[in-house]
Amino acid sequence: MVARWIAATLAALAAWTSAPGAAAQSGTGDDEMARKRRHMVETQIERRGVTDARVLEAMRTVERHLFVPDEAESHAYEDTPLRIGHGQTISQPYIVALMTEVIAPDREDRVLEIGTGSGYQAAVLSVLVAKVYTIEIVEALGVTARERLERLGYDNVEVRVGDGYLGWPEAAPFDKIIVTAAPDKIPPKLVEQLADGGRMVLPVGSGYQELVLVEKDGGKVRQRVVTAVRFVPMVHGKEAQPERDER
């Protein structure tokens, strides 16, 4: 009987760890960092109006301190962007949660992210959806994010170094798209690559910016402003990018 119980337990554990993004979460435990994540969600995210239970659980689970430099680890769960090198930052937790909630992620979704950064947003998405495709224009960041996501077990994320304006046409259409830099206008190629019934969220504008939800339904495209935001400009090709500062 004991042998059967051990076999059943091992089988259940194997099934859990084979789920998308699950390997990265094993062994997290109820440690100090987990306490800080719970506090982050309660004080920074729930109190500001994010209510999607799956999104909140993803924010409690994904270990943000593993996506920041060692010297910033003690600040990992504060409500602020943090520098990750190459003039870039990891977005503040509230913005990550808000944008994730706005696209309404489904377990079967294929999601495109423009602006990989450290890989944190991609990791949050990975535990909520079937597949994440993410593009980073800064090669060093893209390579490092790919290695980090693979090491942490986020095996349903694919990283590409390239121009986000072009999207990922050979993998399109996407059920959802998240863009983490602000174009002056919504890039037409990203709209083309959004599936019918899909949702895209992105900051739009120069100077004054608004976070915009784009929905495609029956070939028609609708837009709705979510809130005012501040992101760095979205650029083409190998143009230098200034620091991200989403608030």
| Residues annotated as part of the active site | 91
Other residues' Cβ atoms within 10 Å of the Cβ of residue 126:
27
Q: Are 204 and 228 in contact (CB under 8 A)?
A: no
Nearest to 41 by CA among 84, 100, 89, 88: 100
Q: Give 199's strand partners.
A: 176, 215
Q: Are 218 and 196 in contact (CB under 8 A)?
A: yes
Residue with tokens 């059943």: 8
Nearest to 178 by CA among 75, 103, 124: 103
